[in-house]
Amino acid sequence: MSMTTGGGAGGYSSDINVTPMIDILLVLLIIFMVIVPTVPKGLDALVPQPPKEKNNLPPPERTIVVQVLYRPGAAPAYKINETDVAKRDLLPRLTEIYANRAERVMFVKGDDDVNFAYIADVIDIGRAANVDHIGMMTPKIMAGQ
């Protein structure tokens, strides 16, 4: 509240002094402007894009797909481009494949019933083999289902 000075009725005035509130507002605005750009952002995720053309061309020969196949009651089976590979041989085989490649892209495809821990192991093996980009292949979702 403020006091009126000078002539007139004198006494208290019911006008609100907004100057301190504006000062606080401006300080808060400056603080938020400084803090917001330094907030860390999440993981960079590359979302697969639909093909530009609607033709069914086979994937290029340089595409590496590691499949994790479900086997009931046993550990899953692994394949690299339709070639059966034991899990212990995945790292040496992937290291050999990517030794002379400029583009280091690998896709991981898992059966529906496979525990994700096995797929995460394949991703870790791919990272250990110096693969730069690892993508996940999912089943095609039909419209209307």
Structural domain includes residue 57: no
Structural domain includes residue 101: yes
Structural domain includes residue 83: yes
Residues 13 and 3: beta-carbon distance below 8 Å: yes
> Would you give per-residue pLDDT tens digits along the chain (145 residues)?
455 555 556 677 778 888 888 999 999 999 988 887 765 666 666 777 776 765 555 544 578 888 898 888 888 999 998 889 998 989 999 988 888 888 888 999 988 888 888 988 999 998 998 888 888 887 665 555 5
State the pLDDT at residue 25: 94
Structural domain includes residue 74: yes
- Give helix 116-128 / helix 90-97 axis angle, nearest 10°: 50
State the pLDDT at residue 16: 80
Structural domain includes residue 100: yes
Structural domain includes residue 11: no
Structural domain includes residue 12: no
Among all chains, which residue has been given the structure tokens 């639909």? 50
Structure tokens at 145: 């289902």
Structural domain includes residue 113: yes
Nearest residue to 78 via CA among 60, 100, 93: 93
**CATH number for the domain harbouring residue 97:** 3.30.420.270
Total domains in the fold of the chain: 1
Pair type for strands 105-110 and 64-69: parallel
Range of the domain at 118: 64-137
State the pLDDT at residue 57: 54
Pair type for strands 105-110 and 133-137: parallel
What is the DSSP secondary-structure string of 68-94? EE--TTSPPEEEETTEEE-GGGHHHHH
